[in-house]
Chain A
Amino acid sequence: MDFKALGLMAGIEIHQQLDTKEKLFCHCPTTLRETEEHTGEFFRYLHATVSEMGEVDRAAAEEMMNRRQFCYFAYDTTCLVENDEEPPAPMNPEALAIALQVAKTFAMHPVEQVHTMRKLVIDGSNTSGFQRTAMVAMGGVLPGDGEVETICLEEEAAQRVEGSTFSLDRLGIPLVEITTSPCMHTPEAVQETARYIGMVLRSTGRVKRGLGTIRQDVNISIKDGARVEIKGVQELDLIAEVVRREVTRQVTLLSIRDELRARNASVGEETHDVTALFAGTKSSILKRAKSILAVVLPGFAGLVGREVQPGRRFGTEISDYVKKCGLGGIFHTDELPAYGVTADEVAMLRAHLGAADEDAIILISGSKEKAACGAKQVRHRARLAFEGVPEETRKMLEGGNTAYMRPLPGAARMYPETDVLPVTITEERWAAVEVPELLADLARRMEDELGLDPAVARQAAYSEHLPLFRAAVQAGIKPNLAARTVLATLKELSRDGVAVENVADQDVLAILTAVEAGEVAKEVIPELLTEVAEGKTAAAAVAEHAGGVSAEELAAIVAKIVAERIEFVRDKQMHALGPLMGVVMEEVRGKVDGKKVSEALRIEISRVI
């Protein structure tokens, strides 16, 4: 696809959790919990309210179609602010400082007076029904001709446990939202920009790491298409594919639009009750339904079944809208007979509704109320097809497809958070903000200064264990040994089921220092770390393995082992060194450095052959 010719415009919003001690508007720790640890739960309803400008936001209005009861899990690490039962504390200065640092790294202009706003979100993910957010800086630069439009400091939403149940541990964790302008024109550019911004964020050393701590929203439109916001892309490597698939969707929807117009298609105004028609049906879904409704779409035949994304049809798009009414989906004549609905039933349905072959019929089944709501949604979505691409907020599906979530919200959903006073960013404060060294630069520098291999240097710079690596080098540990232990050994042990989370940074440093001082051999590091993970102190573990093998003792051990295998040695000559290494190492149980063992063996073997 020629994305430039299609007029692809894409921008991204990156949401990154900050690693602060406390939450953004209360003094709770930013600790994530296991849901089974919850110490209380409560439930609430949310109601759409009129905004500052006197309107109800369209996205909020749609969420209100179903009044839902939301359940919340509370913990001993959450408080009344998360419960929406206490006014917020002043904005966390630590979080603001990190946001300012990021802003300065992108050469942005800080806002002189930061105002906290309430952004209406009534899907249950915020107990209050809004998310607190504040614009901190504007107008930053990206490599190439990209532009960072804004950086906002926001509170994280509560995490969905399942259905309408949410967990309050995540609610209120500070995050920065970095929004670019729609300055990208290829899927790869979007992915690269996201990668770059992620690197800048990690360069502060003050962001949370791990799955779910960074999320990308992608805004995409093509010429004649419409802006679509895809929420919550967690995997960086999928971004380009998400963009490609959205472009495909928009191109297909535009072709459907053109064909509908050419066919002079329309949307039937009437909803037909066809419950009686299916009285004897074998379809288990229709048999269960209290009410079966039909909407005729004249001129739509063949288009409802057209694929818009791999495995998703225009009919799936309609179905997504119908799900808002609490229904499972729809049947349509482009896919029938199927799902237990027979060809005879379809023919009878067409005859009953007077529908021609070029017309499509959509069936909606469920309770009376839900089916009526569904029929309304079918007509709504079908009408939108004549305009082409509706402006929407969509959610990521596996593999890079997307599904409808809600209409794009407008500015009407934003009003001031009057419980939080504005914060002034003085010239002095801004001047004092330090720009961190970018990890990309740090990797190059470590390569030069520490003599690390480029790949290792890059791995060290981008690792979440960078502080430990730096501390080790600072303490005089050889960079390669430090890198190997911090970046590889710990990970390998963890993979083998060792509880490395029990090993404190000081323990790692103590072990490495003992190795560097020659107290223990470096081969024993995994063993030492495992023992510490199991509860031993680093000092005790080192003492157990340290010393006891002098040069003379080593020579004696080597001589004994060589003597026992004298035939083998004579046979293999110097090639016996390799196999005998393991035997000696086993004997000295890591108390001697491998290099010394190898040297002693070489001397002894040369002596006997």
Chain B
Amino acid sequence: MSTYMTGDIVAASCRGHPVEGIYITDRDGMAVLKLKSGYNIGVDEETCTLVRRAGEQPAPAVPAVVQDERLPELAIISTGGTIASKIDYRTGAVTSQFTADDILRAVPGLTTVARYRAEVLATILSENMTPSTWQALARAAHAAIRDGAEGVIVTHGTDTMAYSASALSFMLDTPAPVVFVGSQRSADRPSSDNVMNAMCAAAAARSDLGEVAVAMHATTNDDTCTVHRGTRVRKMHTSRRDAFQSHEMAPIATVAYPSLAVDLSPEAVRRGSAEPALRADLEERCGLLYFYPGMPEEAVRVYEDFKGLVIAGTGLGHVRSACIGALREMVDAGTTVVMTSQCLHGRVCDRVYDTGRDLLAAGVVEGEDMLPETALTKLMWVLGNVDDAEEARRLMATDLKGEIRRRSDYGF
């Protein structure tokens, strides 16, 4: 532990050169000082002497968020992630610390689109999400809509945003839009995509849309956001602004920036098409297995005690013959096994090759053209809501929220 506190003024020697600065933190055994020029440097803490203790820091003045009462009301549910992130200057890491009100302060333009009620559900990075967070999120969104919000914006880390959006798609029947939004570049940089994404998400949330969706940059330009169906969206790039892509269908809407004009596709579910309903039960003992050539049978057996298993198989939906026995035993013992494809694009068909037929004979359900992650959240939801194994198999092969398409269109 350092003897200094953040904000202390200390004098030190940098290889014999005298320096003075504000003590920031300890990093790799060195004292990090902020010099008057604004530069940080690391110096040997042994050479530091205290000049002045940090005074009481006046809390920075926080401007009040003024809302326009004449505008429709939206709910912002904040879960953390890059869009709501702030640098922790002590550890140097980016952490989620923002409240929803902070988002309104960071994106002042939001208050010209709607007025907001805000709720901080979590402040976590998205890899720390669990199915119970999805459940809390579904309840919060449902409550907001039931209480009269015209739409819901969920701020979320982008890494697992597609899982959350698909999970909510199944848990929630909604007459109003529930729009997930995130940002790929942190909010503390002038180039952050948070401003445009948040503005477009707000526009989508007060539009005529009536389903769970994800709104993010359409291209690398700051000109358009695309709105993707929650069960059909995937993060396809680690860092680009336009990482989110709709799979096997066109996006359900676009939002122009800065005009915020929303253009819904004919396929988009319209506002008011459903009564609000919440079925938030999930069977968490479900897994997702990515098959690879040579995968040993034991790898499959890891999931023996699971209630459900989604496999991302090869091509039309295959695993090697050596794994099929284990899958058969699992199905016989009551595990629902669903086959999807690593190809992501296209439909599973286990009736073409022998191994596929063996898989069908073993009781594996064809996952049609579902994305593997969507199949997982769906399986959790189905097994959380249905006791009968046959009914579960039927539902997995049935389109519930746009996750399965009967026809494979040409052109996507």
Contact = CB atoms under 8 A, between A and B. Distances in A.
B190 A47 contact: yes
A234 interface: no
A117 B44 contact: no
Interface string A104-122: 0000011111110111101
A43 B257 CA distance: 12
Contacts of B187: 49
B190 A54 contact: no
A414 interface: yes
Sorting the interface of chain B by its residue count into under 10, 10 to 19, 20 to 34 or 35 or more gives 35 or more
Contact of A44 (B36, B94, B221): B221
A83 interface: yes
Interface in A34-66: 42-50, 52, 54, 60
Contact of B191 (A44, A80, A111, A114): A44
Contacts of B265: none
A112 B30 contact: yes
Nearest to A179: B37
Contacts of A42: 219-221
A234 B57 CA distance: 43
B238 to A, nearest CB: 8
Contacts of A152: 39
A45 B199 CA distance: 13
A418 B87 contact: yes
A393 interface: no
Contacts of A46: 190-191
Interface in B31-56: 32, 35-44
Contacts of B238: 86
B29 to A, nearest CB: 9
A84 interface: yes
A87 interface: yes
A424 B87 contact: no
B185 interface: yes
Interface residues of A, number: 53
Contacts of B16: 109
B223 interface: yes
B7 to A, nearest CB: 11
A430 B41 CA distance: 16
Interface string B50-76: 000000000010000000000000000
Nearest to B107: A47
A117 B39 contact: yes
Contacts of A52: 87, 89
A139 interface: yes
Contacts of B322: none
Contacts of B190: 46-49, 60, 120, 122, 128-130
A137 B238 CA distance: 35
A518 B19 CA distance: 63
A55 B306 CA distance: 52
B60 A85 contact: no
A229 to B, nearest CB: 13
A50 B16 CA distance: 35
B158 interface: no
Contacts of A49: 187-190, 192
A127 interface: yes
Contacts of A424: 28, 30, 42
A513 B42 CA distance: 53
A139 B18 CA distance: 9
Contacts of B352: none
Contact of B41 (A44, A85, A112, A410): A112
A411 B192 contact: no
Nearest to A423: B42
A48 to B, nearest CB: 6
A69 B17 contact: no
Contacts of A69: 222
Interface string A482-498: 00000000000000000
B244 to A, nearest CB: 14
Contact of A109 (B15, B39, B188): B15
A85 to B, nearest CB: 5
Interface in B182-241: 184-185, 187-192, 195-196, 219-223, 238-241
B301 interface: no
Contacts of A430: 15
A430 B14 CA distance: 13
Q: Kindly name the residue among B36, B38, B187 whose own CB sees the greatest number of chain A CB atoms within 10 A.
A: B38
B54 to A, nearest CB: 13
A416 B40 contact: yes
A47 B32 contact: no
Looking at B27, B35, B37, the one whose CB has the most chain A CB atoms below 10 A away is B37
A113 B41 contact: yes
A112 B45 CA distance: 11
Nearest to B44: A112
B302 interface: no
Given A45-B222, A87-B239, A54 B30 contact: no
A135 interface: yes
A119 B15 CA distance: 26
A249 interface: no
B294 interface: no
Contacts of A414: 37-39
B27 A130 contact: no
Contacts of B38: 117, 119, 410-414
B266 interface: no
A113 B28 contact: yes
Contact of B189 (A111, A128, A135): A128
A75 interface: no
A415 B89 contact: yes
A422 B219 CA distance: 33
B322 to A, nearest CB: 40
Contact of A115 (B14, B36, B39, B188): B39
A130 B219 contact: no
Contacts of A416: 40, 87, 89, 92
Going nearest first, the 9 A-B pairs with the smallest beta carbon separation are A113-B42, A129-B190, A414-B38, A411-B38, A54-B60, A109-B17, A115-B40, A135-B39, A46-B190
17 contacts: A43-B223, A46-B191, A49-B190, A80-B240, A87-B239, A111-B14, A112-B42, A115-B40, A119-B38, A128-B189, A129-B191, A152-B39, A413-B38, A415-B87, A415-B89, A415-B188, A416-B40
Interface of A: 42-50, 52, 54, 60, 69, 80, 83-87, 109-115, 117-120, 122, 127-130, 133-135, 138-139, 150, 152, 410-416, 418, 422, 424, 430
Given A42-B220, A47-B190, A416-B89, 19 more contacts: A45-B196, A49-B190, A50-B188, A83-B220, A86-B239, A109-B14, A112-B41, A112-B42, A113-B41, A113-B43, A114-B42, A117-B40, A119-B38, A129-B190, A129-B191, A135-B41, A411-B38, A413-B38, A414-B38
